[in-house]
Chain A
């Protein structure tokens, strides 16, 4: 029996993540919602979701005493970051007058901006909310059976500007082309919500559940 730990640090709706993992897993997997660093250390796979603001997320991670457990998991086991759970893996976010994050990867999380427009001057709403395409810019086991350009559900006002091109696994166009998916070694993380992205999202979670953690 394998344990998939979903990190619960009080940030947002984790029920959907647990539901979706249970829907794609089978009897060999146990999905465990946990705030306990020890349980995270023992889990076979770790899912790190997150919603809300970067400052609140970082505060919550430390209040729950989870920083070391998350960093260790991201260095050692199949690890899936979702939404804010991707952004805080980076070293810095512009949100909340600047927030230092976990710094596992180099890059910067930036605001789309007030009065945001595309190149042709069309107003774009912020948050970027709804179904947008993810272009797969490198091959990865988690893309198995997912068409390049498939739509996933997004809701966010800040986006990742990755510093190292080799980190980028997927991009999405919203006024600019931003990094919507990153992958390195045993870590895969997305800005969008696979747990809310119907068949494509469930396929990605299914791929994660069976992934050996090798890129």
Chain B
């Protein structure tokens, strides 16, 4: 096996500025998306994910300019998510230089949107973001549902049925976030990740809960994820991507380090 497992830093962008910015000494402006992207690229990030958390849709155009600026300087895959509702949103972001578009809420309310998007732009650029929350008691067999609104609203949709459906509809990849773990720093929900990864054909990115480097390795070894995504452990300067790669390599995980 020579395909490397990917490490993907995720940057939240609010109105054109990275929030929870990096504290790299080399960076003069911690909120500048281009500087953050450049730094992560130098450290060996395999991809970058930008999540637009801008509240007002009037300001969405700002994100287009962010993507344009980053794509001119950083030559690794860029995924953009947040507020993608229409085919025209996807077209705009791809034209700006994004390589993949992450669809979340719009897929839940209109699953056919994923099929139309994959048909029009190709599966390779369609990522379906899944926010999953465990609904079974700890002593019961695991069962997870899709939640919306930042994990507050249940939809009644079973996660495994959902990811299989999204795979069939043409999703090129699944970004799987455990809403139980998100922000906890106690590690990915590896049981959930493994079930999803085994159920579908397409790659799975594990997300939610990373607090240390062991968690990243566990996401691959126990969760059987194809890629791991993290935000805070990289943003706050606790760990560099290069350290994460060295750690994973020492545990026998194939990573890109050349």
Interface of A with B (CB < 8 Å)? 12-13, 15-16, 19-20, 23, 51-53, 114, 116, 118, 122-123, 125-133, 147, 149-151, 153-157, 172-174, 195-198, 200-202
Contact = CB atoms under 8 A, between A and B. Distances in A.
B71 A15 contact: yes
Interface of B: 1-6, 41, 46, 71-73, 75-77, 94-99, 121-125, 172-173, 198, 201-204, 226-227, 256, 258
Contacts of A156: 124
A132 B122 contact: no
B125 A15 contact: no
Nearest to B224: A123
A116 B173 CA distance: 16
Contacts, number: 106
A33 B198 CA distance: 41
Nearest to B68: A15
Nearest to A147: B258
Nearest to A173: B2
Nearest to B123: A127
B122 A196 contact: no
B201 A125 contact: yes
Given A130-B203, A196-B76, A155 B172 contact: yes
Contact of A151 (B95, B172, B201, B258): B258
Contact of B124 (A19, A125, A127, A150): A127
A127 B73 CA distance: 27
Given A19-B72, A118-B1, A130 B227 contact: yes
Contact of B75 (A20, A147, A149): A20
A16 B227 contact: no
A195 B75 contact: yes
23 contacts: A12-B125, A13-B97, A13-B98, A23-B73, A51-B122, A52-B122, A114-B201, A118-B1, A125-B202, A127-B123, A127-B124, A129-B173, A130-B4, A131-B3, A131-B6, A147-B258, A149-B258, A151-B256, A174-B3, A196-B75, A196-B76, A197-B76, A200-B258
Contacts of A125: 201-204, 226
A132 B4 contact: yes
Which 5 residue pairs spanning A and B have beta carbons closest together? A52-B122, A131-B256, A131-B4, A15-B97, A155-B124
Given A12-B121, A130-B46, 19 more contacts: A13-B98, A23-B73, A23-B75, A52-B121, A53-B122, A125-B201, A129-B203, A130-B4, A130-B203, A132-B2, A147-B258, A153-B77, A154-B3, A157-B123, A173-B1, A174-B2, A195-B75, A196-B75, A196-B99
B125 A150 contact: no
A34 to B, nearest CB: 16
A16 B122 contact: no
Contacts of A23: 72-73, 75
A173 B4 CA distance: 12
Given A51-B122, A131-B256, A198-B76, A16 B99 contact: yes
A128 B122 contact: no
Q: Tell which of B5, B125, B198 has the most Cβ of chain A within 10 Å.
A: B125
A154 B46 CA distance: 12
A200 B226 CA distance: 22
Contacts of B202: 125-127, 129
A50 to B, nearest CB: 10
B1 A130 contact: no
A46 to B, nearest CB: 21
A51 B3 contact: no
Nearest to B96: A15
Nearest to A51: B122
